Amino acid sequence: MMKVRIKVKGIVQGVGFRPFVYRIAKKNNLKGFVKNMGNYVEIVVEGKKEDIENFIKDLKNKKPPLSRIDKLDIEEINDNLSFDDFYIIKSEDSREEEEGTIPADVAICDDCLKEMFDKNDRRYRYPFTACTTCGPRFTIVEKLPYDRENTSMRDFPLCEKCLEEYKNPLDRRFHAQATCCPVCGPKVFLSDGKEVIAEKDEAIKEAVKLLEEGKILAIKGIGGTHLACKVSENEPVLNLRKRLGRPTQPFAVMSKRDYVDLFAEVDEDERNMLLSLRRPIVVLKKSENYDKYFSKYVSNLDTIGVMLPYSGLHYLLFDKEIAYVMTSANLPGLPMVKDNDEILKKLDGIADYFLLHNRRIVNRCDDSVVKKVANRLVFLRRSRGFAPEPIKVDVENDKNILCVGAELNSTACIVKKNKFYLTQYIGNTSKYETFCYLRDAINNILRLTNTNKIDAVVCDLHPQFNSTKLAEELADKFGAEIFRVQHHFAHAYSLLGDNNYFDDAVVLSLDGVGYGLDGNIWGGEVLLFKDGKIERVGHLEEQYQLGGDLATKYPLRMLLSILYKAIGEEAFDFIKKYNFFSEKELALLKFQLEKKLNCPITTSTGRVLDAVSALLGICFEKTYDGEPSIRLEPEANKFKGNMEIEPKIKNNILDTTELIYKSYEMLLNDESKEKIAYFAHIYIADGLFEIAKKMADRTGINAVGITGGVSYNRIITERVMNNAKREGFDFIYHNRVPNGDGGICFGQGIAYILKNRAEPYG
């Protein structure tokens, strides 16, 4: 006989891990206990040596599908304690400085769905049905250990029948913290904004009728609230756009699995992601039949963001409709609303009706979004279904590092050893409410990872960002070092860490805006990663951003600035044809350009693409992040011919004045918009790759990568990929971390760790 203590670290909370341990202990004739220590699970087993060895094999090889074992600490113990059986005993809150992991929310499982639609089951049509393998986790937990009393489910004491299931080791709801039923669980209700007009199942049935009538509903879900309407008619979609102030931003939709093929093209990878328990929004190419089912106002791109139902409530909404618009319930730049009073107040005048419930959402969590680019699915947004599960990187680190991320599309990150815990998606932290959300999310991730000590706080180089100011406050609070990383360097470090690639490489870091080492606005950078440090070795031509931030909102300003550089006074005569600026405005713009007043210098790839978008009359005003460039890509996708060009490069600088001038000439010569749009894309891709190739050849490097928000553009990224492969380079691209600013915090962490190898510039 022998006795061992096992510490299990990883994703072992909220995944049915303790019931699993109980079952395999009983199977192997062992006595002892298992308990949750908050940041790990402790097991003590007593029995024959061979039985314990078989138990450990089962522990490793038969663990629950949602769990992940990162480390097993096994020690033999000798004491006088003996056990008469195996038990799950009361959790403790360990004070050891070890990271814990709460799993992400997952979609309702098939077993629970079967019960929901079984008229003879006591959970028939009950929208909060869940078990150990499905349902909310992160969005309901307040602190570790992950027990019911530490979640918002503590507000709903279990009834006799649910308690019996909860205590039965053979039941799949054994210690399922989110379990409940119509007797003891949360309740759904429908409000017109003034009073409750229906409750329970009648509320859901009435909501379905209202949606079919063309009404707009606010629907409270697992991690926040959606605004929903039918997709087949123009009026409800246009009403939603008007009320939200989102005139053109594509809406995501929710559809049942059997309907997606009616309106979208889906490959195997995309289908598997749609069907996964994580249930993100997947950006799909529209099919030829799309217009038969959808209003043209749902999406003005050649793609549509689609997700499948992931909660019981979602499934109950589908009757006659093949899809609903299902967009986050927030005004531009602000966090999604989640509390009932807040929903009713802030969505007054936006939603016609409110389908709500009385379970508290502890942690707001937007839908994740993925898109297939360069033969892999990449994150546009990593949030529900993934956060806060850690990303492991092959680095050595003995510090607790807090990274506050970027200013826009923000996430934050805590790094412990080689694990990077990214928060859920936060948003635009230049807005006060979103900044407060960032602060709360940081406090929450510190609490859930049992982090009491911070050694370093990492932020952007920009001195005026709210996130930078927060970093300074937190560094002072924890007595920690503060470390600043240039924005595009952070993108590059993010790419390298995402791929566990720390050999020398040339990285294209392309986006709309980032504070450069020279104080200018960067965004089209060729970076050399060599001997552990990053250096800027090339970039797009410097242009004047006419009117500063106004040029990001009104892309004709960027076009005028570059055209003026190319053709002088004629640029103003040309711009008049768009009937966008008054004579008085044009006179002022001319004065600004001549005197270089409020004309900051930029190398932004986004601004150049914006200028082409304006040139072609595609977008004159940005209403959401990246809109002019995003709407330019579908136009370029229409071009089916081949094109070989010779980008103009001098001293490792790609001439973008030439790009705009050539596009302008093509337009005057009646070339098609699609051809001009395609030309602009491959001019940038080929030109920057040529600079990267030259640098790689000079330094003996055999890897080229691309990162930043522009790397979501399929044409540019896949052109760079094909060029790299043709020339014999390894191609590096994202996989686990967002390409855009949602991955900046991850890159900041990598930058801090690598500074011990060689101090990076900036």
Q: Cite the active site residues.
A: 18, 36
The H or E element containing residue 270 is helix 268-275
Is residue 504 within 8 A of residue 699, CB to CB? The reply is yes
- β partners of residue 348: 351
Instruction: Report how far residue 205's alpha carbon sits from residue 319's, in angstroms, rounded to the nearest whole number.
Output: 9
Can you list the alpha helix ranges (DSSP code H) found in 568-672?
570-575, 583-595, 605-615, 627-637, 656-668
Distance linking the first and last C-alpha atoms of the chain: 60
125/182 Cα distance (integer angstroms): 9
Short-list 153, 144, 130, CA closest to 9: 144
Query: How far, in Å, CA of 635 to CA of 616, rounded?
Result: 10
For residue 380, give the H/E element and its range: strand 376-381
Dihedral angle sign, alpha carbons of residues 641, 642, 648, 654: positive
Pairing of strands 68-76, 2-11: antiparallel
CA 675 to each of CA 302, 527, 555: distance values in angstroms, whole numbers, following the listed order:
17, 30, 20
Q: Which of 675, 667, 612, 685 is nearest to 643 (CA)?
A: 675
Which structure tokens are listed for 293?
């089912």
CB 526 within 8 A of CB 641: no
Contact (Cβ atoms closer than 8 angstroms) between residue 173 and residue 111 = no
Could you tell me the two tokens for 397? 């680190």
The secondary element (H helix, E strand) that includes residue 21 is helix 17-27
Residue 169 near residue 19 (C-beta atoms within 8 A) = yes
Beta carbons within 10 angstroms of residue 341's beta carbon: 8
Q: Is the peptide bond before 634 cis (omega within 30 degrees of 0)?
A: no
Q: How many CA atoms lie within 13 A of 537 on its CB side?
A: 23
Q: Which of 551, 508, 455, 418 is nearest to 692 (CA)?
A: 508
How far is it, in rounded angstroms, from Cα 655 to Cα 653? 6
DSSP 8-state code for residue 588: H
Q: Whole-angstrom Cα distance, residue 753 to residue 281?
A: 33
Place of tokens 């994703």: 11
Q: 557 with 615: CB under 8 angstroms?
A: no
**For 578, which DSSP code?**
G
Q: What's the CA gap between 354 and 680, in Å, rounded? A: 46
> CA-to-CA distance for 647 and 650, rounded, in angstroms?
10
